[in-house]
Amino acid sequence: MRIIIDITRPHRHSPDITRSGKKNKGKQNYRCKGCGRQFKSDQEDAYKGTLSGVKSMIKIMSVRGVGIRDIGITLKTSGATVLKAPKSTKYRIKPKQSRYDCLETDEFWTYVGKKKNKVWLIYAYHRESGEIVAFVWGKRDVKTAQKLRKRINGWG
Protein backbone atom coordinates (compact mmCIF):
# COMPACT_ATOMS: atom_id res chain seq x y z
CA MET A 1 0.00 0.00 0.00
CA ARG A 2 1.41 3.39 -0.99
CA ILE A 3 0.34 6.70 0.57
CA ILE A 4 0.78 9.90 -1.44
CA ILE A 5 0.98 13.23 0.36
CA ASP A 6 0.80 16.44 -1.67
CA ILE A 7 3.47 18.92 -0.55
CA THR A 8 3.74 22.40 -2.03
CA ARG A 9 6.24 25.17 -1.32
CA PRO A 10 4.98 27.70 1.24
CA HIS A 11 4.18 31.20 -0.09
CA ARG A 12 4.27 30.16 -3.78
CA HIS A 13 2.29 26.93 -3.57
CA SER A 14 4.45 25.46 -6.32
CA PRO A 15 4.20 21.67 -6.64
CA ASP A 16 7.55 21.60 -8.49
CA ILE A 17 9.71 20.42 -5.55
CA THR A 18 12.27 17.75 -4.78
CA ARG A 19 13.58 16.07 -1.63
CA SER A 20 16.75 17.65 -0.28
CA GLY A 21 18.13 15.57 2.57
CA LYS A 22 17.00 15.50 6.19
CA LYS A 23 17.09 18.10 8.93
CA ASN A 24 18.06 17.43 12.51
CA LYS A 25 15.75 15.03 14.32
CA GLY A 26 15.20 13.22 11.01
CA LYS A 27 12.66 15.57 9.41
CA GLN A 28 12.50 15.59 5.62
CA ASN A 29 13.81 18.71 3.89
CA TYR A 30 12.53 19.85 0.46
CA ARG A 31 13.75 22.28 -2.20
CA CYS A 32 11.72 24.32 -4.68
CA LYS A 33 13.00 23.76 -8.23
CA GLY A 34 11.86 27.22 -9.31
CA CYS A 35 13.68 29.39 -6.77
CA GLY A 36 15.98 26.93 -4.98
CA ARG A 37 14.63 27.75 -1.50
CA GLN A 38 14.72 24.92 1.04
CA PHE A 39 11.84 24.26 3.44
CA LYS A 40 10.11 21.62 5.54
CA SER A 41 6.49 20.60 5.09
CA ASP A 42 3.87 22.32 7.27
CA GLN A 43 3.78 19.67 9.96
CA GLU A 44 2.36 20.32 13.42
CA ASP A 45 5.78 20.12 15.04
CA ALA A 46 7.61 22.06 12.29
CA TYR A 47 9.20 25.43 13.02
CA LYS A 48 6.62 28.19 12.62
CA GLY A 49 8.92 31.18 11.95
CA THR A 50 8.76 30.89 8.16
CA LEU A 51 4.98 30.59 7.83
CA SER A 52 3.27 33.48 6.05
CA GLY A 53 1.17 35.00 8.86
CA VAL A 54 3.83 34.91 11.56
CA LYS A 55 5.63 38.16 10.67
CA SER A 56 2.43 40.19 10.68
CA MET A 57 1.42 38.65 14.02
CA ILE A 58 4.83 39.57 15.48
CA LYS A 59 4.40 43.18 14.37
CA ILE A 60 0.88 43.46 15.76
CA MET A 61 1.82 41.87 19.07
CA SER A 62 4.89 44.07 19.52
CA VAL A 63 2.86 47.22 18.83
CA ARG A 64 0.37 46.09 21.47
CA GLY A 65 3.18 45.83 24.04
CA VAL A 66 3.70 42.07 24.20
CA GLY A 67 7.24 41.13 25.21
CA ILE A 68 9.78 39.55 22.86
CA ARG A 69 9.97 36.26 24.76
CA ASP A 70 6.19 36.05 25.10
CA ILE A 71 5.77 36.53 21.34
CA GLY A 72 8.31 33.78 20.66
CA ILE A 73 6.59 31.35 23.01
CA THR A 74 3.08 32.16 21.76
CA LEU A 75 3.92 31.89 18.05
CA LYS A 76 6.47 29.07 18.53
CA THR A 77 9.31 31.01 16.88
CA SER A 78 12.85 31.85 17.91
CA GLY A 79 13.84 35.10 19.58
CA ALA A 80 15.91 36.03 16.52
CA THR A 81 12.84 35.82 14.27
CA VAL A 82 10.89 38.07 16.65
CA LEU A 83 13.70 40.63 16.77
CA LYS A 84 14.05 40.78 12.96
CA ALA A 85 10.40 41.66 12.32
CA PRO A 86 10.22 45.17 13.88
CA LYS A 87 13.49 46.17 12.24
CA SER A 88 12.19 45.73 8.70
CA THR A 89 8.55 46.64 9.20
CA LYS A 90 6.47 48.50 6.65
CA TYR A 91 3.31 47.82 8.62
CA ARG A 92 0.92 50.76 8.83
CA ILE A 93 -2.05 51.12 11.11
CA LYS A 94 -5.29 52.32 9.57
CA PRO A 95 -7.14 54.48 12.11
CA LYS A 96 -10.84 53.81 12.61
CA GLN A 97 -11.71 57.52 12.86
CA SER A 98 -10.73 60.41 10.63
CA ARG A 99 -10.36 62.86 13.53
CA TYR A 100 -9.34 62.47 17.19
CA ASP A 101 -9.97 65.03 19.93
CA CYS A 102 -7.11 63.85 22.15
CA LEU A 103 -4.25 61.43 21.58
CA GLU A 104 -1.69 60.29 24.14
CA THR A 105 1.79 58.97 23.51
CA ASP A 106 3.75 56.28 25.25
CA GLU A 107 7.00 54.47 24.65
CA PHE A 108 8.91 51.33 25.50
CA TRP A 109 12.27 49.94 24.58
CA THR A 110 13.73 46.62 23.67
CA TYR A 111 17.15 45.63 22.41
CA VAL A 112 18.48 43.92 19.32
CA GLY A 113 21.26 41.45 20.04
CA LYS A 114 22.84 43.29 23.00
CA LYS A 115 21.30 45.51 25.65
CA LYS A 116 23.49 48.34 24.37
CA ASN A 117 21.52 48.28 21.08
CA LYS A 118 18.30 49.81 22.41
CA VAL A 119 15.41 50.35 20.03
CA TRP A 120 12.43 52.46 21.10
CA LEU A 121 8.82 52.05 20.05
CA ILE A 122 6.92 55.31 20.44
CA TYR A 123 3.21 55.18 19.76
CA ALA A 124 0.13 57.41 19.88
CA TYR A 125 -3.17 56.02 21.13
CA HIS A 126 -6.72 57.13 21.81
CA ARG A 127 -7.41 56.52 25.50
CA GLU A 128 -11.21 56.16 25.24
CA SER A 129 -11.16 53.43 22.59
CA GLY A 130 -7.71 51.96 23.41
CA GLU A 131 -6.88 52.19 19.70
CA ILE A 132 -3.26 52.65 18.65
CA VAL A 133 -3.30 55.28 15.92
CA ALA A 134 0.36 55.47 14.87
CA PHE A 135 3.82 54.23 15.88
CA VAL A 136 7.48 54.60 14.98
CA TRP A 137 10.65 52.63 15.76
CA GLY A 138 13.91 54.45 16.41
CA LYS A 139 16.16 56.13 18.92
CA ARG A 140 14.75 58.05 21.85
CA ASP A 141 15.28 61.50 20.37
CA VAL A 142 13.49 64.44 18.81
CA LYS A 143 13.88 63.07 15.27
CA THR A 144 11.86 59.95 16.11
CA ALA A 145 9.20 62.04 17.88
CA GLN A 146 8.93 64.23 14.77
CA LYS A 147 8.36 61.12 12.62
CA LEU A 148 5.44 60.17 14.88
CA ARG A 149 4.08 63.73 14.72
CA LYS A 150 4.15 63.64 10.89
CA ARG A 151 2.13 60.41 10.91
CA ILE A 152 -0.60 61.85 13.15
CA ASN A 153 -0.68 65.45 11.84
CA GLY A 154 -3.31 64.75 9.19
CA TRP A 155 -5.91 63.61 11.75
CA GLY A 156 -6.32 66.88 13.61
Q: How far apart are CA 84 and CA 128, in angstroms?
A: 32
Higher pLDDT, residue 79 or 147: 147
SS (H, E, C) 81-107: HHHHHHHCCCCCCCCCCCCCCCCEEEE
Any idea which of 23-27, 28-32, 81-85, 131-135 has the lowest mean pLDDT?
23-27
Alpha carbon distance 14, 18 (integer Å): 11
Residue 18 has pLDDT above 50, yes or no: yes
Query: Residue 53: what are its φ and ψ, rounded to 5°?
Result: -85, -5
| Predicted model pTM | 0.42
Q: What is the pLDDT of residue 12?
A: 55
Length of the chain: 156
The pLDDT of residue 143 is: 92
Percent of the chain with pLDDT over 70: 74
Residues 52-81 have pLDDT tens digits of 678 778 878 887 888 888 888 888 888 888
Task: Please say whether the beta carbons of 85 and 55 come within 8 A.
Answer: yes
pLDDT bin (cut points 50, 70, 90) of residue 112 is confident
3, pLDDT greater than 80: no
